[in-house]
Amino acid sequence: MKNIFGLTKEALADALKEYDIPRFRADQIVRWMYQRGAASFDAMDNLSKALRTQLAAHFSIERPKVVSRLHSADGATIKLLYEFTDGQTAETVLMCHPYGNSVCVSTQAGCRMGCAFCASTLHGLQRNLTAGEIAAQVIGMADFLRQEGARVDTIVVMGSGEPLENYDNVIAALRLLHEEYTIGLGYRGVTLSTSGIVPGIERLAKEGIPISLSISLHAPTEELRSKIMPVNCIYPLSDVLRAARAYAERTKRRVTYEYILIRDLNDSAREAEQLAKLLRGQLASVNLIPINPVAERNLFRPDKAAIHRFQKTLEDRRIAVTLRREMGTDIQAACGQLRNRLMEAGL
């Protein structure tokens, strides 16, 4: 039986053709699945009973189920743990800002990047998520927001996993979410974050969709970045910066460099000065992120004075910089934390 959740309208029409079902039915079915939350053909009451029976005999609608749900005390953040049909799990976070609702999406079950500050990689990579599994995280949040009279405004492909190691499924999911028969998400409302997979950055620059690129940098030197992020041994900082500059030049989109501040590791004035020198003259900005503590990593956030000193050093050197607003710390909103907690509990 073929799972049709995740298919485009055109792909569904082709699948229906084998059973002599008219192509126009595909438009009805995708709108039920992607806009009205249908999890079975029985819910599609504008289709005849005979057609619903025929569809159910050959196709399924497999949406992940929510196995854990956490709400922050301030009501601005919701974290879901989705379970897929094979038992693998991934996290999705909804962040409600005054300017709109943003969904943070996972692209892999687990991660193999081995970044020192991240909980996602503690249990390694289990598998890539399919395009349908990636899109389902956003559509599930859209279903929830619709009940509140709201919608998904932006997404950040910044959850568990390295999206550029699952390139084809990630791009297919973004293209599906862009369609008017799903949630009609504008590409300019998408930010994709990578640890620095250079061939993927180069490929993305040629894709022809105006999404924003975010680079997980976290260190201003090759030596320190290799210590924090093993991927730097494969794709060195110098190559990552070259690819990012080329992306900005080709797309005319500002690249954001994510920089997690870790006490006594990368948070000194010296590192701030090195970072400013590295990025001077680029179409770029820095997003400073005080680390969301991960107990298994024994890494801690700097105090407020150190954070503001780092920020001011960049500002004084005319580097565009923002300090990320903390959201969801009380519900373990950092990548992988909820999934790891359940895995270690044997759930």
Specify the pLDDT at position 69.
93
- Which residue of the set 10, 18, 91, 258 is catalytic? 91
Report the length, in residues, of the chain.
Answer: 347
| Cα separation, 102 vs 213, whole angstroms | 16
Going by C-alpha positions, the residue among 335, 341, 346, 22 that lies closest to residue 157 is 335
Mention every residue, 6+ apart, whose C-beta is less than 8 A from residue 339: 81, 89, 90, 91, 110, 119, 120, 160
Specify the pLDDT at position 342.
52
- Sign (positive/negative) of CA torsion 157, 161, 167, 170? negative
Going by C-alpha positions, the residue among 287, 114, 166 that lies closest to residue 217 is 287
| Cα separation, 301 vs 230, whole angstroms | 21
Specify the pLDDT at position 34.
98
Three-state SS at 303: coil
Would you say 292 is a known binding-site residue? yes
Would you say 189 is a known binding-site residue? no
Specify the pLDDT at position 345.
46
Place of tokens 């780092």: 310
Asked if 195 and 229 touch (Cβ cutoff 8 Å), the reply is yes
Active site residue 335: yes
- CATH 3.20.20.70 positions along the chain are 65-344
Query: Phi and psi of 68, rounded to 5°?
Result: -155, 140
DSSP state of 72: -
CATH assignment, 65-344: 3.20.20.70
Specify the pLDDT at position 39.
93
Would you say 180 is a known binding-site residue? no
DSSP string for 21-34: --THHHHHHHHHHH
Would you say 106 is a known binding-site residue? no
DSSP string for 135-167: HHHHHHHHHHHHHTT----EEEE-SSS-GGGSH
- CATH 1.10.150.530 positions along the chain are 2-60
| Cα separation, 107 vs 124, whole angstroms | 14
Specify the pLDDT at position 328.
52
pLDDT digit string (tens) for the chain, length 347 residues: 899 999 999 999 999 999 999 999 999 999 999 999 999 999 999 999 999 999 999 999 999 999 999 998 888 899 999 999 999 999 999 999 999 999 999 999 999 999 988 887 777 999 999 999 999 999 999 999 999 899 999 999 999 999 999 999 999 999 999 999 999 999 999 999 999 999 999 999 999 999 999 999 999 999 999 999 999 999 999 999 999 999 999 999 999 999 999 999 999 999 999 999 999 999 999 999 999 876 667 789 999 999 999 999 999 999 999 998 765 565 454 554 554 555 544 44
How crowded is residue 80: how many other Cβ atoms within 10 Å of its Cβ? 21
Asked if 188 and 210 touch (Cβ cutoff 8 Å), the reply is yes
Specify the pLDDT at position 75.
81
Hey, what are 146's tokens? 């619709």
Three-state SS at 44: coil
- Which residue of the set 96, 133, 271, 335 is catalytic? 335
| Cα separation, 15 vs 193, whole angstroms | 34
Asked if 260 and 291 touch (Cβ cutoff 8 Å), the reply is yes
CATH of 2-60, one of 1.10.3470.10, 3.30.420.40, 1.10.150.530, 1.25.40.10: 1.10.150.530
Would you say 118 is a known binding-site residue? yes
